Chains A and B, each alone.
Chain A
Amino acid sequence: MKLKKVLSLGLAAVTALSAMMLTGCGGGGASSDTSYTMWIYQGADASYYADYADNPVFQYLSSKTWGEEEKKIDIEFWVPAAGTATDSYSTMMGSGSYPDILDCSISDSPIIMYQEGIILDLTEYIKEYMPNYMKYLEEHPELKSYAVSNVDGEDKYLSIMNVNEDYPYTYCGYCYRRDWIVKYGTNPQTGAKFTGGYTDENDVDSWEDDVVFPSGGTDPVYISDWEWMFEIFEKAYADLGIEDTYCISVYFPGFTWTGDLVSSFGGGNFNFYEDKDGKVQYGGSSEHARAYLQCMNTWYEKGWLDQSFNERTSDMFYAIDNTAVRQGKVGMWCGMQAELGGRLDSGDEYTDGIYVAGCALPINDIYGDESCKNVEPDCIMTGRNLNGVSYALTSAIEGKDIPTLLTMIDYLYSEEGAALASLGLNAEQIAESGISFYENNGIADGAYVINDEGKYEWVDAVRNDSGGLKTAATFEKFPHKQLVSSIDEGYADTYEHSMELWIQYKNTAQIQGTPITNNMSAEDSNAVGDVMNKCLDYTQTNAVKYIKGEKDIDSDKDWGDWCKMLEKYNYKKAIDIYQPYADRFEI
C-alpha cells in the first residue's frame, strides 16, 4: 500500500514537472512565446557538436534573460546536411513549413518574400528594440541601402544583416613565385641582379628582397608587370628543366563571370554591372571583354597561359591545377592564404626555398583601346564587403515574442556582444556559466586573450587549428557584428601585406546581391535571370575558342558574330529592366 502511494506521488510529480516544462512555467526555461525555430544554411563542424543549439555562445545566451520581462530564449536550429541546403530550403518554402528565423543565404530578395507574405516587416521592431544595430547603420550610411528594402516607395527593414567591423581579408587572390623573381630576374631600371631570401630559416614569413617591378614599385601593378614576371618564370622553367608547365591558368570557361581578372581590362565583368556613371552595362560584348580575350589569346599563343585550362573543369577557380602548384611548377596562380610565404616548401626540387607572395589584380596597360587601359578593377568576386548574410523573421513567428528575440539579437551588435559572437566566451563567462565546451577542446580559458595593445588575439590552439574549432567556439551563424580590426590575427607583416593587396581594389560595380537586385520585383528578376542564363551559356561555350585562336579575336567579323549573338539574347532588355533600380538604389 505504501509502495503504491509512493509510486502515485512520484508519477504525479513527474506529470506536474512535465506539464510545467511544456507550458514554460518551470522558472528556468524559455516560455512558449520565446521558443523559436531557426533555419541556417550551414552548421558548425559536426565533430564538435551535431546540434547547433550546443554552440557554447548560444548556450550562454540562452542561460540569460532578455527584454523588459526578463525572459529566457530557446531556439531549435534546423540545419540541413552538407550539400542539401538548397533542397532543404525548397522543401521548406514549397511546403510552407517556415522556421521563425530564416537565414537568407539562398533566398529570393527580401522584397519578394515580403510581398509573398513569407517574411515580416521589422521596421518598427528594429527601430524600437535594436538600438545597437541602428547605431551601426547610422555610422555606415553606405550600408543603409542594403539594410532597407523599398516597398511601394517606403523604406522598410525586412531583414537583419550580419555586419563587419571593417573590410575583412579575403581568403584567396593571385600568388606568384617571388623567389624566382629574385633568382632569375634583374632590376628593370639598373639591370642589376636582385638579392633576397629568408632572414630566419625557421620563419616562413621572414622574407626580404630588393625586387623592383617595371612599374617602379615593389609589387606588381600592371599587366606589363605580370608579363615581365612571365618572362622570368620562363627562365626559371628552362633552368630547372620544368617541362609541360605554364605561367598562369584561368578558370575553365576562360573567365570568371563575376569579374576579377576580367575587371582589370577597364572594369566590369562578363555579366551586368554598374559603371562609374551609374549606368548598367552588359560586359560580355564590351571592348573590355574583347581586350581581356585579346590578352588571354596572346598569353595562350606565347605559351604563358595553361594550354589545358579549359580541361580543368573540376577545379575551383582558386585552386586550379593544385597539384602542379604544390609541386612548385607554376609561377603564378589564384591561391589561398595557406600557400603564402614558405608554406609550400616541401624540400623537394622545385619547392625548396620557395617564397610565395600575394599581389593585387593587375591594371591593363597593353591591350584594347584607351577605355580599357589604366582603369582600376571594380568587379571583384573575391572581395569581401562590410555586410554579410541577412536573416529574416517569417510569418511563423507571429504570436511569439518578437521584441525579446530582437533585444537578444541586438546585444550581439554591441561591443560586448560582438566580442562574444566573434570570439566566443571569455574565461569569466566560462566560469560563470559552467559551459564545458572550451575545456573539452583544450582551450579552458576561452578562444582568445587580450594583448598588450588591447587587441583580441586567438590562443595558439585556435590559431594553429586547421579544422573548425574557431567556427565551433564562436557564433558565426547568427546575426551579429563581426569584429575584424579589433582582432590581431598574429599575421607577419609580409603575410598581412599579401592579403592587403588582395583586397586593394573594392567591389563597387557588381550588382548581383546589391540593393539593385534585392529590390527587384519577381517578374523583373525572372526576366533578367533568363537573359543572364542564355548570355552566360553562350560566353562560357565560346570564350575558349577566342582564347585558343579557333576564332580570331582581332577579326572584327568574328567579334561581330559574338556580339550579334549576345544581342540576340536581348541583354539590352535586361539593362532596361535593371536601370530604373540602379537609378533608385546605391550600391
Chain B
Amino acid sequence: MAKTKTTAYKAPRITWRRDFKRNWPVYMMFLPAIIFMVVLHYIPMFGIVMAFQDFNVTKGYFGSEWVGLKNFIDLFTGDQFLVALRNTVCIAVIKTTLGFVPPIIFAFLLSMIQNKKFKRFCQTMSYLPNFVAAVVVVSLVQEFLAKDGPLTLFLTNVFGLENQNWLANEQIPVFWIIYLLMGVWQGIGWGSIMYVAAISTVSGDLHEAAAIDGANRWQRLFKITLPCIMPTVMMMFVLGVGLSFSTGFDSILLMYMPSTYNVADTVYTYTYRMAFSASANYSLSAASGLFQSVVGTILLIGSNAISRKMTDSSLF
C-alpha cells in the first residue's frame, strides 16, 4: 500500500501593510486604546524620576536636584518600615489566599440557583457593596465593631469574647482578619463575575453525562466545573498576586490609629505619614510607589510563570 505523504497547510505570508489595508477599521478601533495608554500611562511614567530627586514643586522635574538613591535609603531605613512591610506582606498573603476563595464559592452557589429572577436579584445585590465608597464602608465597620456595636455585642454575648472596640485591638491577626472580611463583603459579588461567566460556558452535556454515570453534585463540581474554569481561576489568581501588594491604602488609612500602627501600618500608609504629615516630601512618596510597583511586577511575572508551569495556563 502506497504511503500518502501529507504536507501541512502553510498560511500565505502577509505583510503588515497589506494586513493594515485589509483591516484598517479594526486598527482604527484600537487607536483610542493606544492613545489612552500612551497619554495616561506611559507619558506619566516619566514622573518616576521624582524618586531620584529632591523634588520641589516649584522647580519641577528639570530643576530639582538629583539625589540618586537617597529617598530609597530614607524609606528602607525608617524605624517603622520593616513593620509596615511585614504587615503589607501578611495582608497581601491573606488577601490572595483566604480572600481569593469566597468569590469562587459564591459563583458556584449562584450557578446552582435555578430560578433566573432570583439568581439575577442575588447577583445584583452582591455587586452593590462594590460601589460603596471606602469611607462609607469603613464607617459601617467602625459602627459594627465599636465597643457597643452590634457585631461586638454579638461576639461578646454569643461567644463570650471581651467587649472591646475591635479596630483598636493590637493583637495579630485581628486587624488583618477585619480587613480581609471587609474586603470579602465588599468585593465578593464583583469578584465572582468572571467565575459566573466561566461556569456558564461549561457544557451542560458534561454534567448530564456525569449525572447519568451517577456523579453527585459535589463530584460534578470538583470533577467537571472546577477543572473547566481553572484557566479563569489561574488568570484571576495571577492578576490578584500582581495587585496584592497594593493593599487598600484608603480604607486602612481611615481605619487605623496610632495605637494599632504595629499591626495595621502598610508601606502605603507609612509612606503617606512620612511624606505628608508635617511637610510634603513628594520624592519619598514616589520612591515608595516605585518600590511597590517593582515588587508588584516581580510578583506578577513570578506567579504567571508558576501558573504556566503547573497548570499550562497563564496570562502571558
Contact = CB atoms under 8 A, between A and B. Distances in A.
B and A form one assembly:
yes
Interface of A: 90, 93-94, 96, 108, 112-113, 116, 118, 252-254, 257, 271, 308, 310-311, 313-314, 522, 525-526, 528-530, 532-534, 536-538, 540-545, 548, 565
A522 B258 contact: no
Contact of A522 (B56, B278, B280): B56
B279 A533 contact: yes
Interface stretch (B173-181, B220-228, B269-277, B286-294): B269-277
Contact of A541 (B58, B261, B274): B261
A113 B58 CA distance: 7
Nearest to A526: B54
A528 B161 CA distance: 46
Contacts of A311: 165, 167-168, 257, 259
A95 to B, nearest CB: 9
Nearest to A542: B258
Secondary structure at the A interface, as helix, strand, loop or mixed, is helix
10 contacts: A108-B57, A308-B147, A529-B279, A533-B274, A533-B275, A536-B277, A537-B274, A542-B258, A543-B258, A544-B259
Interface string B144-165: 0001000000000000000001
Contacts of A252: 257-258
Nearest to A257: B278
A108 B59 CA distance: 12
B80 interface: yes
A529 B278 contact: yes
B79 interface: yes
A541 B258 contact: yes
B60 interface: yes
A540 to B, nearest CB: 5
A542 B261 CA distance: 10
Interface of B: 54, 56-60, 63, 74, 78-80, 142, 147, 165, 167-168, 254, 256-259, 261, 273-275, 277-281
A541 B254 contact: no
B147 A529 contact: no
Nearest to A96: B60
Contact of B57 (A94, A308, A537): A94
Contact of B277 (A525, A537, A542, A544): A537
Contacts of B80: 537, 541
A313 B257 contact: yes
Given A310-B257, A314-B254, A116 B59 contact: yes
A578 to B, nearest CB: 13
Given A311-B165, A537-B80, A529 B281 contact: yes
Contacts of B257: 252, 310-311, 313
Contacts of A308: 147, 165, 168
A53 B84 CA distance: 48
Nearest to B257: A313
Given A90-B57, A533-B281, A310 B274 contact: no
A528 B80 CA distance: 20
Q: Give 9 nearest A-B pairs by CB, closest first.
A: A529-B279, A532-B278, A116-B58, A313-B257, A93-B57, A311-B168, A544-B259, A541-B258, A310-B259
Given A533-B277, A537-B80, A537-B274, A310 B167 contact: no
A536 B168 contact: no
B58 A525 contact: no
B58 A530 contact: no
A536 B273 CA distance: 9
A544 B261 CA distance: 12
Given A529-B281, A534-B274, A537-B277, A310 B258 contact: yes
A532 B279 contact: yes
Given A118-B58, A252-B258, A536 B147 contact: no
A93 B281 contact: no
A429 B168 CA distance: 59
A522 B78 CA distance: 23
Nearest to A116: B58
A159 to B, nearest CB: 15
Nearest to A311: B168
Contacts of B278: 257, 271, 529, 532-533, 536
Nearest to B60: A94
Contacts of A542: 258
A568 to B, nearest CB: 8
Given A252-B258, A314-B254, A534-B274, 15 more contacts: A93-B58, A94-B57, A108-B57, A108-B58, A308-B165, A310-B168, A310-B258, A311-B167, A311-B259, A313-B256, A536-B277, A537-B277, A538-B79, A541-B258, A548-B259
Nearest to A307: B147
A522 B142 CA distance: 41
A541 B258 CA distance: 5
Nearest to A512: B278
A540 B258 contact: yes
Nearest to A119: B58
Contacts of B280: 529
Contacts of A534: 78, 274
Contacts of B279: 525-526, 528-530, 532-533
Contacts of B256: 313
B270 to A, nearest CB: 8
A448 B38 CA distance: 57
Contacts of B277: 532-533, 536-537
Contacts of B58: 93, 108, 112-113, 116, 118
Contacts of A544: 258-259
Given A529-B278, A533-B277, A545 B56 contact: no
A185 to B, nearest CB: 30
Nearest to A525: B279
Contacts of A313: 256-257
A28 to B, nearest CB: 38
A282 to B, nearest CB: 13
Contacts of B259: 310-311, 544-545, 548
A113 B59 CA distance: 9
Nearest to B59: A116
A542 B257 CA distance: 11
Contacts of A528: 279
Contacts of A565: 79
Of listed A112, A116, A254, A541, residue having the most chain B CB within 10 A: A541
B273 A533 contact: yes
A537 B54 contact: no
A506 to B, nearest CB: 23
Of listed A313, A525, A545, residue having the most chain B CB within 10 A: A313
A565 B80 CA distance: 12
B257 to A, nearest CB: 5
Contacts of B167: 311
Contacts of A314: 142, 254
Contacts of A548: 259
Contacts of A94: 57, 60
B279 to A, nearest CB: 3
Contacts of B60: 94, 96
Contacts of B142: 314
A252 B57 CA distance: 31
A548 B258 CA distance: 13
